[in-house]
Structure 1
Amino acid sequence: MAAAHGRRRRRAYIGSFTAEGGPGVLVAAVDGDSGALTLLGSAADVPDPSYLALSTDGETLYAVSENARGAVAAYRVTDDRPALTGPPVPVGAGPTHLCVLDGHVLTADHAGGSVTAVPLLADGTLAPAASGTLRHPGPRADGERRPHAHQVVPASAGDRFLSVDLGTDTVRVCALEDGVPVVRSETRLRPGSGPRHLALAADAPDAVYVHVLNELAPTVTVCRWNAPDGPLEPLQEVSVLPSAPDGDAYPSGIVVSPDGRHVWTATRGTDVVSVLAVEGPSLRLVATVPCGGRWPRALAHAAGTLYVANQRSGDVTWFTVDPVTGVPVLAGSVAVPAASCVVLDA
């Protein structure tokens, strides 16, 4: 298990849908030169662990259980096989995303239309019950869709986070107050756009830029955010495809390059990764490339390698990225049935 000089190899953690034949939570070793993945071990203790997040020390992995009886679970990942630390803790129905913030795990409960906060104990395991729930407002008389919280993203080192709601076309700036998530401000994006995920860009001198990926468009909305509590200011909405799609096209994942020069998105149906160049406060579509599989559900990037979790083809593909153009080139793949996300350690 140990690499040269006694240091542990870099790891990747892969989520999957057990209801579709996935192995649950997988641990993989990451080759330091090529970025290639080698599968090590798996655990199927929790149904449909579709999204994962690491603790700050990298020793505990948290997973949502994306089904009607929504829950969050914690695994020790100090060995090659993840070890469940205790019973999963109930959250809202159908959680699709989670993050670690201010001594809590937050979950975005898609079917429940809520955000749930579960406290962490001193050893990084989960407390036995949630400390608070933020329920997104329901549909209005004008026919607005039902709330569907889809992602929660830490905004800084403090207690702020952004909550993305696909059903109500909103992004909310939130905070944790005594373990309870509360709304500070709210931004409504174009009706019917269906924001799914977002990525924070590098801080600008006067503001933070937020790139919001819209599942129903398919587009990215660029927003300026005067943190920490102000609403987002939409500046631009740009397509992630070069022309109108002939059939299904549902964007899923979004990543900003570490140098802030490029944004990558994945789109299911067209099964492509899109490359957008960052030009000041604007984005420009540069290229689209095949994702190497079918139904790309999530992206991850580390050390010049881009990873794609392809749900319907049952694999994780990886690409080397041209540092100048940002265009990814397929370099390899590994079979993971019903793959849903990839998370990499530091």
Structure 2
Amino acid sequence: MNLKSIFLGVALACGTVIGYADNNIKLVVGTYTDAGSQGLYSFSFDQSTGAASELSSLNVEDPSYFAFSKDGRHIYAVSEKNSATAVLNSIGFDPINGTFAFKNSQLTHGGDPCYVSTDGKIALTANYSGGTISVFPILKNGTLDKSLLQIGSKKGGPNRSRQNTPHAHCAVFAPDGYILTTDFSGDRILCFSYNKHDKKLENHGIAAHIKAGSGPRHLVFAPNGRYAYLMNELSGKVIVYSYSDGKLKELQSIAADNANAHGGADIHVSPDGMFVYASTRLKGDGITIFRVGNKGTLTRVGVQRTGKHPRNFAITPNGKFLLVACRDDNSIQVYSRDKDTGLLKNTHQDIVLSHPVCVKFYPE
């Protein structure tokens, strides 16, 4: 027996997954259910070849966005409905078999929840048409307690057809624990913290003002936590910020949406922090690729055209593949990713699924 075999045997005996044994990971997909979809689906995904095989599904209404718990044993998925029926669902997840088990749901009290995040203690939803952020304490068994409170956004942006009423689009936990939320109609990023003792969000003011009419949508942090990248839906621009203590300082604004389609969507950083990817929709659908410089700023290096309406996408933990949920083409496209250039290549291993809108990997 060679050293590699001995090492692998010891690792498996200790419950450690290493090397090539790490290639098969779990992929979870959320869909709109207006055209016959079940809701949530799980797949086994080989991150060495890009091949996927379906494992399980669960009936959930319109789980258009979801987040894994820190231990990966729970999924918190929105049901993107009107304010009377919109809920956040707690769903058990078996990371070995990829199976789901519904736990409970709680009303968001805000219409069209379109984003959810969690730090393990609370879960947050951004309610788009409600214009609010809902906060859910997470109980010890992973289920959700009732929503305690909501923080509202405001209207006032110059785009009267898109910013005439308050809209909230995402709520993320910064690396230092602050909560940053995008005020889509108010063209601001707001900062909060959660006071566990008093069970309330404490307002820390405006983290960043954004040019009027930008429509801030999704915000992500670089792996080092020093920089943040904002995708603006209406302007189609990515704004680069330095980050410290709940405040964002603008370093750069760079176009992702050359078609000016007002359809900026998702944004992610490669696992090595060397590239930023942003999806744009409505015209010229695709993924814009940026190289990250020494001080966090971006240089545009390419565009990969995709299927219709690439609302959301995800990069495999090893950085080898990028998967795009093309809602209006009823498919998830699998692209290989060149780690040196950042460029993408279609592997033509599409996952066919009705109206996919959210893709995430376990482990994230």
TM-score by length of 1: 0.89
1:40 Cα shift? Answer: 1.4
| C-alpha separation in 2, matches of 1:116 and 1:146 | 18
Give how far 1:51 is off.
0.2
**1:107 alignment partner, SS class:** strand
2:184 aligned to which of 145, 150, 166 = 166
The correspondence for 1:72, drawn from 49, 63, 88, is 88
Structure-1 residue corresponding to 2:25: 10
Counterpart of 1:317? 333
Post-superposition CA distance 1:27-54 (Å, at most 9, x none): 111114223221111112x321100100
**Contact kept? 2:230, 2:238, Cα under 8 Å:** yes
RMSD value over aligned CA atoms?
2.3
Superposition deviation, residue 249 in structure 1: 5.0
Encode CA deviations 1:167-215: one digit per residue, 9 max, x unaligned: 11111122111332232131210100111111111337xxx21110011
Match of 1:58 in 2: 72
Corresponding residue for 1:239? 255
Check the 8 A contact 1:146/1:168 in 2, yes or no: no
Residue 86 of structure 1 aligns to a residue in which SS?
A: strand
Give the match for residue 152 of structure 2: 135
Q: Deviations over 1:255-305 (max 9, x none)?
A: 1112211100111121111101112232111100112x2100101112121
- Equivalent-residue separation in structure 2 for 1:41 and 1:288 (angstroms): 34
- The AA in structure 2 aligned to 1:314 is N
**Counterpart Cα distance in 2 of 1:217 and 1:344:** 29
Secondary structure of 2:280's match?
A: strand
Q: C-alpha separation between the residues in 2 aligned to 1:87 and 1:234?
A: 38
Q: Distance in 2 between matches of 1:210 and 1:159?
A: 14
Superposed displacement of residue 159, structure 1: 3.7
For structure 1, the 5+ residue unaligned runs are none
SS in 2 for 1:168: coil
Contact 1:315 1:337 in 2 (8 A): yes
Larger radius of gyration: 2
- Percent sequence identity over matched residues? 27
* Amino acid paired to 2:174: A
Asked if 2 retains the 8 angstrom alpha-carbon contact of 1:145 and 1:168, the reply is no
More moved, 307-316 vs 73-82: 73-82
Cα distance in 2, alignment partners of residues 103 and 64 from structure 1:
17
Q: What displacement does 1:24 show?
A: 0.3
Aligned partner of 1:330 in structure 2 is 346
Q: How far did residue 139 of structure 1 move?
A: 4.1
- TM-score, normalization by structure 2: 0.85
Matched pairs, number? 331
2:359 is matched with 342
How far apart are the structure 2 equivalents of 1:188 and 1:147?
Answer: 16
Cα distance in 1 for partners of 2:159, 2:213 equals 13
Matched, 1:275 2:292: no
Cross-structure match for 1:203: 224
Larger deviation: 92-101 or 35-44?
Answer: 35-44
The residue matched to 1:85 in structure 2 has which SS? strand
1:133–1:180 CA contact under 8 A, matched in 2: no
Gaps of 5+ in 2: 1-10
Deviation of the 1:235 alpha carbon: 1.9
**Whole-Å Cα distance in 2 between the matches of residues 214 and 326 of structure 1?**
22
Measure the CA separation in 1 of the matches of 2:362 and 2:158. 45
Q: Match for residue 112 of structure 1?
A: 130
Comparing 117-126 and 141-150, the one that deviates more: 141-150
Alignment-mate amino acid for residue 314 of structure 2: A
Q: How does 1:20-39 map to 2 (within 5 A)?
A: 20-39=35-54
Q: Which deviations, in whole Å up to 9, do the C-alpha atoms of 1:215-270 show, x marking residues without a partner?
A: 1111101112222x3x31222110114xx42x735111101112211100111121
Cα deviation for residue 124 of structure 1 reads: 0.9
More displaced 10-residue stretch of structure 1: 144-153 or 108-117: 144-153
Partner of 2:274: 261
1:286-301 alignment, distance < 5 Å: 286-291=301-306, 293-301=307-315
Whether contact under 8 Å (1:189, 1:234) holds in the other structure is no
2: CA distance between counterparts of 1:327 and 1:290?
Answer: 11
- For residues 30 and 126 of structure 1, the distance between their equivalents in structure 2, rounded to whole angstroms, comes to 29
Secondary structure, aligned partner of 1:312: helix
Q: Which residue of 1 aligns with 2:167?
A: 148
Structure 1 contact 23–337 (Cα < 8 Å) conserved: no
Deviation at 1:140, TM superposition (A): 8.8
Q: Structure 1 residues 121 and 13 mapped into 2: Cα distance closer, same or farther (>3 Å)?
A: same
Alignment partner for residue 203 of structure 2, among 156, 175, 183? 183
Q: Using the alignment, how far apart are the partners of 1:140 and 1:10 within structure 2?
A: 42
